[in-house]
Every structure is written in C-alpha cells, then in structure tokens.
Structure 1
C-alpha cells in the first residue's frame, strides 16, 4: 500500500488546458473518489496517475517516489476499466492470472493467487468459464480480480460500474466498498455519479473545468459545500437555488417573495445572494415560500414534487409522508431552521 501525492499538476493537449494546477493528498489505504461532470478532467488525472498520460507540469508521487517519468508497468498500480477489457478466448482463471504469467511467475503461485482472489470475489465456481458465459456483474468482478492478483500498491478504477444496470450497480457499489475494507489498498476511483461518490468514498474530490472545487468527507461536502457548484452537484435531487437580496434579515426575491432567514443573514444586509435549500429540508408550513405544484412524483418511500415560485423559479421538495398534491395546487413550504445555505450571487462562494 502507498500514499499518492499530486502537486500542482497541469495537463495541456496543445493549446487546450485540461488540468489547472490540481493538488490532492491521498493517504495510505484511503478510498478517494474523483467526481465531476463529463469533461472536468477526472479521467485524465487518473490516467496520469497510471502513467497512460504524460504530466505537462507538476509532480505525482506514489509511496514517496516521483513517478512522472516512470513507465506504467513499473508504478505498481492496477487499473480497472469501464469496459472490462477481458480476453474473450481465455477462461476466467487465465484472464485473472495473465499479468502474472507475463511476469513469468511460477504456475503454482499464479494458481494460488487466482484462487484467493476468486474466493474474495465469489468467482470460484466460474474459473473455467469464458467471458461470454458471464453476466455483466461477473465480468466486472473478473476485471477486479485481475487487479487483485497483482497485489498492487494502488488500485485505479475508471467508472467501472457505468455499463451495469441500476440494480446491479447498487449491488456492485457495496461489493467494491467491502473489497476495499478487506484489502485496505489505496484506491482512486473515478465516477460522474455523485451517489456512488457519497456512498463509497472515504474522501471525495469534486472537480469542475480542470480544477478542484472542494475536497472532503462525503457528509462534509453535503452539509457545508464551499460554493454553489459543489452544492448543486452533491445531493440527489439537487439543491434548490433562489436568487434575491438580503434586506432586514430576510431574502427578498422576484414576484414579491419574502423569506425570513436566521441571524447569519443580518450581516449580509444589502447583498445580492443565492439561497440554497435541499429538497428534503423543506416542510409544509405557512410563512415561508408559496409555491404552485407543477408535477407530483410518488416513488413509494417518498413523494417528490416540482413546484413554481411566484418569480418563476422551479424548486423541488421531497416528503416522507404521502401527501396527495394535485398540479396547480398552492402550498406553503418552510425551510428547516439552520439548514439553508447562502452563496455570493457573483462568485458563487459560500458566505
């Protein structure tokens, strides 16, 4: 196992700047997830750690050794790809042990390590099968097993669950997390799915346009996002944003909106702000927001509604109770005390 340190790393393809001075500390044995929208640079950064992309400037070190110019095969890492990348003419056992065979490891050693990995991943009954005889989840386990048998210092996962159906993806999330808890190997995992990031990571790195927006534990990012981008990206359904101005400790918005806020708003008198409220932090009540129900979406365990404020802003509210709302109905929504967020209207930074 090993720590991974990324210092002021930049990446350019010609004149196109992809990464802009990224710095991340990944502790020994930590499970870190790089998350962000498509094109934010997370997969490029992962490939740079693996040695599949060169570093334009900055420094990447693994276990205290700078690896900028070290070939991928000498970095002692193992990568699991989105598309499995299994050899169709090889059995599961041969696929899992192929990297050791290339290193000319003894056959008995290969067999023992393949068997150990197969037992960890529940693949022992399938060692003689070919990839075409496996389900998508089983193929992904084989790809993970191929990485495990190498006993690397660092695991790198590049959106490994994105090709699976929703139910299998949930099951595999738990399997990957359990695997990390058993092996304790430093892991860097890339995904665009913030639910994956929230449920699996020890630490999340939120990226946007080639920059790191915030680094922290999942609930830290959820409860105290540093800026409006992180607030809107982390959480499902996404946080509601309502623009306005602070006057007398209240938010004054379009369409006559007036919402009393807590004491922290008093210090922002006269400032243009964006109020953030998570859908699950809205309750029914008078004296808050008056909204018109647009769409009702019952999910069984919850009722989610899309509603429109007088100024035209669309907001989402989630209730555990089974309210029988109807489109066009006017309801009152009250934010839970202490659970609102205020962001600067110009910079998007949290106050």
Structure 2
C-alpha cells in the first residue's frame, strides 16, 4: 500500500487543456472518489495516475517514488475498467492469473493468489467457466479479482459499475466498499454518479472543466459546499436555487415568495443572492408559504413534490406519504438552519 500525491498536474491534448493544475493528497489506505460531470477530466486524471496518459506538467508520486517517467507496468497499480476487459478465450482462472503468468511467477504462487482472491469474491465455483458464461456482476467480480491477485499498492477504478442495472449497482457498491475496507489498499475511483461517491468514499474530489471545485468527506461536501456547483452536484434530488434579494434575515424572490434564512445569516451582506435549500429540508407547515402543487412523485418511502410560487418552482422531498394532488395548494416551510446563500456573481457560498 502507498499514498498518492498529485501536484499541479496539467494535461493537454494539442490545444485542448483537459487538466488545469490539479493537486490532491491521497493517504495510504484511503478510498478517494473523483466525481463530476462528463468531460470534467476525472478519467483523464485516473489514466494519468496509471501512466496510460503522460502529464504535460506537474508531478505524480506513488509512495515515495515520482512516477512521471515510470511505465504503467512498473507503477505497482491495478486498474479495473468500465468494460471489464476480460479475455474471452481464457477461463476465469486464466484471466485472473494472466498478469502473474506474464511475470513468470511460480505456478503454486499463482494458484494460491487466484484462489484467495476467488474466495474473497465468491468466484471459486466459476473458475473453470468463460466470460461469456457469466452475468455482468460476475464479470465485474472477475475484473476485480484480476486486480487483487496482483497485490498492488494502488487500485484504480474507472466507472466500473456503469454497465450494470440499478439493483446490481447497489449490491456491487457495497461489495467494493467492503472489499476495500478488508484489503485496506489505497483506492482511486472515478464515477459521474454522486450517490456512488457519497456512499462509498472516505474523501470526494469534485471536478469541473479540469479543475477541482472542492475536496472533502462526503457529509462535509453535503453540509458545507464551497460553491453553487458543488451544492447542486452533491445530493439527490439536487438542491433548489432561487435568485432574489436577501434583506433583514429573510430572502425575497418576487412578490409572493419570502423564505427564512436562519440565524447564521443575520450578518450576511444585504442585496442580491442565490438562496439554496435541499428538497428534504422542506416540511408542510401552516406557517409556510402557500404553493401550488405541480407534480407529485411517490416512491413508497418518500414523496417528491414539485411546487410553484409565483414564477418560481422548487422540489420538496417528504420522508412520508403525502396526500396531495397536482392543482392543490399546500404550505411549505424550509428549515432555516439548513439554508445556504451564494454570491449571485461568483457562485461562492457566503460564509
């Protein structure tokens, strides 16, 4: 196992600047997730750590060794790809043993390592089969097993669950997290799914347009986002944003919509701002603002309701079944202590 240190890394493809001075410290044994929208540079950063792309500038260090000029096979990393990348003509045993065979490792050592990984992942009954005979989840386990047998210093995962159905993704999410906790191997994981990031990571790196917007523990990013982008990206459903005026401890958006902003905002600058509140921080309350129900989406354990006040629309998420229908009126009130205010020009969170 080893730490990973990324210092002021840039990556250009011709005139296109993909990574713009990225710096991240990943501790030994830490599970770090790179998250962001498509095209933000997260997969490029992962491939640069792996050595599949060469950094245009900056430094990458694995353990105590700078690896910028070290070939991928000598970086002591193992990568799990989105496409599994299994050899169809090889059995599962042969797929898992392939990297060790290339190193000319003794056959008994190969057998022991493969069987140990197979036991961890529940693959022992499948070792004689071929990839075409396995389900998507089983193939993903094989790809993980092939990485485990190498006993690397660092695991790299590039959106490994994106080809699986929703139910299997949830199950595999738990398996990967449990596996990392058992092996305690430094792990860097790329996804665009912020639910994966929130549930699996020790630390999340939120990226946009080749730069890092914020680094922190999942709940730190949820509770204290640095800016409007992070606030909107982390959390599902997304945070509601309303533009208006902050005046005397309350927020006004249009003539009808007046919302509380809580005690911590009493000293905030007066004037134009963006009001942010998460859907789950609304409740139905007679003291709230009257809103027209537009859409109701019950899921059983929760009810998501889109409401409209004047020209403003926002989502409310209630942790119970709510007997409302489109066209009806309800009164909703946000938890003032959970409100965020953002600068309307820069998008930065007002402290």
TM bucket, shorter chain: over 0.9
Question: Secondary structure of the equivalent of 1:230?
Answer: helix
Q: Which residue of 2 aligns with 1:65?
A: 65
- Deviation string, structure 1 residues 298-345 (Cα, Å, up to 9, x no partner): 1011111111221x2221111122111111112111111311111111
Q: Which residue of 1 aligns with 2:246?
A: 246
Question: Secondary structure of the equivalent of 1:327?
Answer: coil
Contact 2:264/2:337 (<8 A) preserved: no
Contact 1:100/1:150 (<8 A) preserved: yes
- Deviation string, structure 1 residues 70-114 (Cα, Å, up to 9, x no partner): 100000000000000000010000000000001111111111100
CA distance in 1, matches of 2:269, 2:61: 47
Are 1:223 and 2:195 an aligned pair? Answer: no
Contact 1:248/1:269 (<8 A) preserved: no
CA distance in 1, matches of 2:256, 2:38: 38
Q: Which residue of 1 aligns with 2:168?
A: 168
Contact 2:246/2:271 (<8 A) preserved: yes
CA distance in 1, matches of 2:33, 2:289: 36
Relative distance call for 1:245 and 1:148 in structure 2 (3 A) is same
Q: Which residue of 1 aligns with 2:330?
A: 331
Contact 1:249/1:269 (<8 A) preserved: no
Contact 1:159/1:191 (<8 A) preserved: yes
- Deviation string, structure 1 residues 52-85 (Cα, Å, up to 9, x no partner): 0010111000011111111000000000000000
Question: Secondary structure of the equivalent of 1:109?
Answer: helix
The residue correspondences of 1:88-127 to structure 2 (distance < 5 A) are 88-127=88-127
CA distance in 2, matches of 1:160, 1:269: 45
Q: Which residue of 2 aligns with 1:138?
A: 138
Question: Secondary structure of the equivalent of 1:143?
Answer: helix
CA RMSD of aligned residues (A): 1.0
Q: Which residue of 2 aligns with 1:319?
A: 318
Deviation of 1:269 (Å): 4.4
Q: Which residue of 1 aligns with 2:261?
A: 261
Q: Which residue of 2 aligns with 1:129?
A: 129
Contact 2:5/2:62 (<8 A) preserved: yes
- Deviation string, structure 1 residues 244-301 (Cα, Å, up to 9, x no partner): 1111221111243222322333323432111111111000113433321111011011
Q: Which moves more between the two structures, 323-332 or 90-99?
A: 323-332
CA distance in 2, matches of 1:260, 1:76: 54
Are 1:278 and 2:283 an aligned pair? Answer: no
Contact 1:4/1:61 (<8 A) preserved: yes
What's the TM-score once normalised by structure 1's chain length? Answer: 0.98
Q: Which residue of 1 aligns with 2:237?
A: 237
CA distance in 1, matches of 2:261, 2:53: 49
- Deviation string, structure 1 residues 136-181 (Cα, Å, up to 9, x no partner): 0000000000000000000000000000000000000000001001
Question: Secondary structure of the equivalent of 2:246?
Answer: strand
Are 1:182 and 2:163 an aligned pair? Answer: no
Where does the alignment leave 5 or more consecutive residues of structure 2 unmatched? none
The residue correspondences of 1:193-208 to structure 2 (distance < 5 A) are 193-208=193-208
CA distance in 1, matches of 2:242, 2:291: 13
CA distance in 2, matches of 1:269, 1:287: 26
